[in-house]
Structure 1
Amino acid sequence: MRGTAVLGSAGTLIAGALVAGALAAPAANAASNRNSRDAEAIGVAVAAARAARAGIDWQDCPADWGLEKPIQCGWVTVPVDYAKPNGKTIKLAVDRIDATGTPAEHQGALVYNPGGPGGSGLRFPRRVTTKSKIWANAARAYDFVGFDPRGVGHSAPISCVDPTEFVKGPKLDPVPDSEADKLAQRKLAAEYAKGCAEKSGDMLPYMTTPNTARDLDVIRAALGEKKLNFVGVSYGTYLGAVYGTLFPTHVRRMVLDSVVNPSTRNIWYQANLGQDIAFEGRLTDWMSWVAQHDDAYHLGNTLAEVRHQWDTLRAAAKKEPLGGTVGPAELIGFFQYAPYYDSMWAPVAEAWSAYVAGDPQPLIDAAAADLTDTAGNIAAENGNAVYNAVECADAPWPTSWKKWDRDNSRLHAQYPFMTWANAWMNLPCATWAAPHQRPVQVRTGKGLPPVLITQSERDAATPYAGAVELHKRFKGSRLITERDAGSHGITNLPNPCINPKVEDYLLTGRLDATDQTCAPHATPQP
């Protein structure tokens, strides 16, 4: 799943999950969904057969994609609506780097999705060109393949607002002081949803996880692969779970890292509420670490003192935005990286420490948007548009503002760091013009091979319960738990217990006889 605060729309952090539009009667929806999915199953078979015949015309990547040789790029054509495979199509951007081993070692393509929804996987082959030690042996056996999912990046990108306006700060403080503040945020969220409909309305009904899973099967066919080898991280685990449900016999190897809880009750409203609780816990972990290293950061030698420094900083930015651009919203957008990733513990603490020591510029530079970064701003706005489009279309949301207000007010009292920022981010779903579907019932389909699941215990973005739930649903799967750890996306971190297990599974298909618990990766140092 994506970060929350960094993805707010222009003028505010938009979050929350209140799908607009009345919900159809359950019985009618169920019948409609069955008929639709039958047609889509036929459509994806038609599209995959075409892709298998066409293959992919691999060429050097466009210079402005930032993908160095020998990475190659190409396109795969997919239907916008799989129920109408002969209708409108779009092209998906894909890239690959050939396996580095001998022909005898070659096991096909390994396809990657980094999450989001809204993330691009095109940088995955760079794990080979940048000589990642963790992935070196897998790279001998597999072509590493990335792609931009539908609506993302170079794959028929969608948009909701002007990118420059989207990133401009300071945005409204996400924590409301009054009913007027809440009304202002609700208005901005509704305007954002309207902008999505106006700029990208033709695509919005088809921006669903099942359609992206169908796209993934067409990419598999275009690669000439009978079965899919897949690594999904964060939201990519939900994409993998849906793919495994829809196409169980098409899976060869699947690694799902940092898992979205796939329960239909969780997608997506409850998922965002669960994040609020988990982020608070991981923020506490980080602030405790900062206190332990007071000799380096001088932010307090107890958790309470460090937390007080945060409250002081937030209040100062609310009174007068730092550098005129960094208010509480921008601070949350930057500080949330620490609960997300251990690799950001020290950088965030360093910028914060400099501010307290009298130099605000490092914090301003880190938290403020670079309005001159046109490509980066376009990518940020596009990522947020896709995030909302997929989550709004994937499932029904509560339509009552009273419920939304009650749930988030209750959570904010105990978990104040992310709750309202997360709420406003998802709130465009409350007035979303495009229809939604019922979530896929993730389950073990006949022929699904054993899947490897990896998860840290204190992950903020995808709480641990999600891995447990998927493990129950995918029979024969194995769960590797990284105890006393909370970084998001652990297969790309050095851990002498986890890395060999992932590698062995990808290279041989072997899994441990039982679930495994691993010690945490190395604790960050100042």
Structure 2
Amino acid sequence: MIRNATLGSAATLITGTLAAGLLLAPPAAAAQTDNGPKLPEVLGVQIAAARAARTGIDWKDCPADWGLEKPIQCGWVKVPLDYAKPYGKTIDIAVDRIGSTGTKQERQGALVYNPGGPGGSGMRFPRRVTTKSPLWVNASKAYDFVGFDPRGVGHSAPISCIDPQEFVKAPKADPVPDSEADKLAQRKLAAEYADGCKERSGEMLPHMTTPNSARDMDVIRAALGEARLNFLGVSYGTYLGGVYASLFPTHVRRMIVDSVVDPSQDNIWYEANLGQDVAFQMRWNDWQDWVAKNDGVFHLGDTRAKVEAKWQELRNKAKAQPIGGVVGPAELIGFFQGAPYYDSSWVPVAQTWAAFAAGDEQALVDAIAPDMTDTKGNAASENSNAVYTAVECADAKWPTSWTKWDRDNTKLHEQYPFLTWSNAWMNLPCATWKAKQSTPIAVGAKRVPPILIVQSERDAATPYKGAVELHRRLAGSRLITEQNAGSHGVTSLQNPCINTRVDTYLLTGKVDAQDVTCAPHATPVAPAKVAALSLDHGTGSEWPAREELPAVR
């Protein structure tokens, strides 16, 4: 779920024919309760899936500018824009794959991946094979690794809400308001953003829902020639997975959900974002404690209180005069929030800050300032944010009363100041959204194979209670808790207690008889000396490439 920019503040081989009886299989969606999909959508996805099964995917070498090397192949799957009108307008979903590396006897089908967001692209997933990521060697013997751009993302009928160069331009206004005038200015920006989404992408907006993305996944499953889906979803991808399991329980084979969104209907999405504010503060405090413990390296304070005071000093300096002319408080939050998100960001964020504190202003500017010449990257960032907004606004009905937004966020900011107002402004366009807003479906399934749930106890982006709630709703699921840890995206970390169970589940379908608690992965080790580092998670044994990480909300 990556928030590199926010609005006015800081800123993812057809193997056979479809199994006989697909069209006659009990439509799981029909079992949904009062807010479930209507019959036209149930029939629409069956029609689209049968059509995709007949057509398959015309796999070819990926376009050169997609950055996906051979032997990764790319293709398209056609889906209805509106599943209630399966013979109406269609859009093309971009997919890619790399074949399993094992023997014919070892192969178990395709493993489909979503990294989160909403707004994240899964197209880099096959690169976990080409880059030989050791955590995925065993799974890649059994599965083709399949990624896709969800509807509205990247190459799949991309949407937009604002000119990308305007979106990334810095500095933006300080997200923490000093006055009612500051709040009014942010409200104006949010309303203008909502208007821009309607103007630039209005036809897509009513259909940018999680249930529709889940239906797209079922069509992808059929196009791949798979009778049942194998799925790995991270962050928002866990909500997508939960919705899929609710709509299509008989189509689930193996499913891992990692860093879990609370799927409760009253949590999607307004309350979910308020909950993030609390959890981010907790993990921000954890990082500050670590920085203080390593004061001999960073010299930013030997207690959390001193590190926090240094942070406020930095914010105030950037507010008085943007650093390098482009780094204000909003840009600082966009950069520093990487530390609460991922342990892999602890060292580079602290080193960059320490270098600045020691007099190297350029280190901070280089790490944070937008590259206005990177038009492709800026367009991708804008698109990701547009999809994030469109999906969350379309999935649920949001409060329209500014009084409620103001009251809730003012109160939260008193105790949890790190992200509260930044988060509020990012989501405020949903208060004046110009397209249909749905009622979230009731996530839950009794007739599914065991689903594996993986969660760190102190996750900032997806608080722990979300994993507990999804576990309760999915009969037979198993929960692996990484105790006293807080990094987002646990399955990409080196922790044998978790890694071996993920492999066992993917290869055999077996889960432990009971839920499991694992010790935390290793805490990041501070370097011997300060040197500003780029925020790059690498492609080695411990961290996936940055573009494969869950999209930060």
The answer to whether TM tops 0.5 is yes
Residues 240-319 of structure 1: pairs in structure 2 closer than 5 A: 240-319=241-320
Residues 92-103 of structure 1: pairs in structure 2 closer than 5 A: 92-103=93-104
Distance 2:276 2:2 in 1: 11
**3-state SS, counterpart of residue 135 of structure 1:** helix
Gaps of 5+ in 2: 12-31, 527-553
Residues 59-70 of structure 1: pairs in structure 2 closer than 5 A: 59-70=60-71
Partner of 1:463: 463
Q: Does 1:41 align with 2:39?
A: no
Question: Structure 1 residues 221 and 404, CA, compared in 2 at 3 Å: closer, same or farther?
Answer: same
Gaps of 5+ in 1: 15-29
CA shift, 1:7, in A, is 2.5
Residues 122-148 of structure 1: CA distance to partner in whole angstroms, max 9, x if unpaired? 000000000010000000000000000
Partner of 2:432: 431
Partner of 2:193: 192
Q: Give, as a single letter, the amino acid of the residue that structure 2 aligns with 1:431.
A: T
Alpha carbons 1:190, 1:428 under 8 Å: kept: yes
CA shift, 1:37, in A, is 2.3
**3-state SS, counterpart of residue 94 of structure 2:** strand
Residue identity over aligned pairs, in percent, reads 71
CA shift, 1:32, in A, is 9.4
Distance 2:515 2:500 in 1: 15
Partner of 1:8: 6
Distance 1:89 1:353 in 2: 51
Alpha carbons 2:482, 2:520 under 8 Å: kept: yes
Distance 2:112 2:38 in 1: 24
CA shift, 1:2, in A, is 3.6
Task: Name the Cα RMSD after superposition.
Answer: 1.2
Q: Give, as a single letter, the amino acid of the residue that structure 2 aligns with 1:96.
A: R
Partner of 2:472: 472
Alpha carbons 1:13, 1:424 under 8 Å: kept: no
Distance 1:387 1:74 in 2: 24
Distance 1:129 1:444 in 2: 35
Distance 2:227 2:125 in 1: 21
Distance 2:428 2:38 in 1: 28
Distance 1:519 1:362 in 2: 35
CA shift, 1:364, in A, is 1.1
Alpha carbons 1:2, 1:235 under 8 Å: kept: no
Distance 2:332 2:270 in 1: 24
Distance 2:380 2:414 in 1: 34
Q: Does 1:515 align with 2:484?
A: no
Residues 395-406 of structure 1: pairs in structure 2 closer than 5 A: 395-406=396-407
CA shift, 1:517, in A, is 0.3
**3-state SS, counterpart of residue 93 of structure 1:** strand
Q: Does 1:492 align with 2:492?
A: yes
Alpha carbons 2:35, 2:442 under 8 Å: kept: no
Residues 163-206 of structure 1: CA distance to partner in whole angstroms, max 9, x if unpaired? 00100000010000000000000000000000000000000000
CA shift, 1:152, in A, is 0.0
Distance 2:33 2:204 in 1: 23
CA shift, 1:33, in A, is 5.3
Residues 489-523 of structure 1: CA distance to partner in whole angstroms, max 9, x if unpaired? 00010001000001100000000000000000011
CA shift, 1:269, in A, is 0.2
Distance 2:339 2:186 in 1: 26
Alpha carbons 1:2, 1:461 under 8 Å: kept: no
Distance 1:464 1:223 in 2: 34
Distance 1:301 1:2 in 2: 30
Distance 1:520 1:377 in 2: 36
Distance 1:98 1:115 in 2: 23
Partner of 1:229: 230
**3-state SS, counterpart of residue 146 of structure 1:** strand
Alpha carbons 2:35, 2:439 under 8 Å: kept: yes
CA shift, 1:475, in A, is 1.1
Q: Give, as a single letter, the amino acid of the residue that structure 2 aligns with 1:131.
A: K
Moved over 2 A (4+): 11-14, 30-34
Partner of 2:323: 322
Alpha carbons 1:457, 1:484 under 8 Å: kept: yes
Distance 1:365 1:421 in 2: 22
Give the TM-score normalised by structure 1: 0.95
CA shift, 1:399, in A, is 1.2
Distance 1:362 1:469 in 2: 42
Question: Structure 1 residues 13 and 335, CA, compared in 2 at 3 Å: closer, same or farther?
Answer: closer
Residues 402-461 of structure 1: CA distance to partner in whole angstroms, max 9, x if unpaired? 01000000000000000000000000001110011100100114x311100000000000
Distance 1:466 1:478 in 2: 14
CA shift, 1:366, in A, is 1.2
